[in-house]
Chains A and B, each alone.
Chain A
Amino acid sequence: MGYFHSTQHLHEVLGGFFTMLGQDAEMGPRLLDSKLILRFHYKNPDTSITVNLTGSDLQLAYDDTATPADVEMWMDADIAHRFWLGELSLPIALARRQIKARGPIPKILKLLPIIKKAYTLYPAYLARQK
């Protein structure tokens, strides 16, 4: 059994976390500057979250296959959990095929310095969820 015991659990945890990042005074505006639509496809449980950064605030959609995304990433849900815990880096996960990414790679990599602070926020966020 992975960290996320259901699709609803994943939506609550990661969806809530993405919303929090969008509202963060430091990270939120910089993420919105990217003007990207990101879609994360997860396995175990199987679902997706679309993060729309094109407007004035961060918008989420679950299992949205209609909105064209600039960047799509596929990963096991536990890999996503470990990523946000700061236990694995995106370049290494890509090199090991733990994550695959479709879209402009430079734009994907450019987001990483912006979300550095998120690695410290995620454990505290999880603790508050319990």
Chain B
Amino acid sequence: MTEPFFAQFHVPTRIVCQPQIATDFSAEWAQCSATAPLIVTDPGVRAAGLVATVEQGVRAAGATPVAIFDAVPPNSELRVIDACVALARQHAADSVIAIGGGSAIDTAKLVALLLTHGGDLQADYAGAQTVPGPLLPLVVFPTTAGTGSEVTSAAVVYDADTKRKLSFIDGYLRPQLAVLDPALTLKLPPQLTAATGMDAITHAIEAFVDLPHTPFADACAIQALRLAQQWLEAAVRDGRDLDARQGMMMAATLAGIAFDHSMVGVVHSLSHAIGGLTGLHHGTANSIMLPIGMAYNAAVCGERYAELARAIGVNDLGAWQGTLRTNLHALCGLPRTLHEAGIAQTLAADIAHVAEEDGTSFYNPRPVEAEALQPLLETMWA
């Protein structure tokens, strides 16, 4: 089958970006037609005082948060969604606000889904394009610069009973409003800043070379990479650098738009496998696996890597990311290899086989085969 060309570009999420905008987003909130939001966040974000900042903005907009759910774990679970929905119903919430990283945002997406349409998350909605219509207003405040979930149509949640992740993909899951306030990321520790930044870089690079790439998403990927190239090291070096934080927030959101349209590939196949087997942080795993994925794909999309390198003004994309990863290691200790991340070499075969089965492998420009991946993986312990 020859794939017919098809391009689509749709970003229904209104995106605003400005330092301190989290304390006053009345103009944007007015379009949400909501007065009683539930806030969804995690304990670390609340302890850092970021919830109080957004609460100030919510009240300035004439709304009153009816409850705060601050128990979202790093990888959200079905039972967490259920508890959050129960709290929202108890307090008659008419909208949902997420404050946090990908886990909090994905949780909020699925809470908004159940509040709006009812039903059973797993039985009725796991899959693609299963949501029957628009959701209650969903407003997100990212507190990291990496996940891109603030603009994507996807949510992932862990099912502890079956020990597998459930995927939800639907355009209706895209938030109504994404408020990018770089001040919310000022307290992010250097290594987490580096790891989430590398997550954004991986999104941009994979979106650019994946099978469904289009000129629309390419434009976002290129600009995302340019911004990350300019600001990531600065943000890691000095977390209080607001310009760097702002640059990285824009990079992450642009990369999110890119991969929401072009998907991700083998690097994510590998990092999902590693995350499932070891619990290694997703951004850290992506950073470690990026050179492996690029080496794996080089034979089939070398020209695309070269095109991306030219677009950001470097000679060699592989060398550029290698230098960046070395510099980040020196700045904050971000692991460069699975060995440095403390992952046992005995897992190499398992990682390769689980990666082959991952859904993202379908979009990779080269078929993902465990036998071909494993020798590359072994170099991670050299």
Residues of chain A touching chain B, judged by Cβ–Cβ distance below 8 Å, are: 71-72, 86-89, 91-92, 94-97, 99-106, 108-110, 112-113, 116, 119
Contact = CB atoms under 8 A, between A and B. Distances in A.
Interface of B: 1-4, 6, 8, 124-130, 164, 166-167, 169, 171, 212, 263, 357-359, 362-363, 367
A106 B358 contact: yes
B1 A101 contact: no
Nearest to A120: B1
A96 B128 contact: no
Contacts of B166: 104
A102 B126 contact: yes
B373 to A, nearest CB: 16
Given A89-B1, A110-B362, A119-B1, A94 B357 contact: no
Contacts, number: 70
B359 A109 contact: yes
Contacts of B4: 87-89, 92
B273 to A, nearest CB: 12
Contacts of A101: 127-130
Contact of A104 (B1, B167, B362): B167
Contacts of B363: 91
Given A99-B129, A110-B357, A91 B212 contact: yes
A97 B44 CA distance: 38
Contacts of A91: 212, 263, 362-363
A102 B212 contact: no
Contacts of A96: 6, 8
Nearest to B8: A95
A89 B362 contact: no
A127 to B, nearest CB: 18
Given A91-B263, A104-B126, 12 more contacts: A71-B127, A95-B8, A100-B127, A100-B129, A100-B130, A101-B128, A102-B124, A102-B130, A103-B126, A105-B127, A106-B359, A110-B362
A57 B70 CA distance: 50
A105 B153 CA distance: 14
Contacts of B130: 100-102
| Most interface-central of B1, B130, B212, B357 (chain A CB within 10 A) | B1
A104 B367 CA distance: 20
Contacts of B171: 97
Contact of B367 (A71, A88, A103, A113): A113
A95 B363 CA distance: 13
Given A102-B126, A105-B127, A92 B359 contact: no
B362 A109 contact: yes
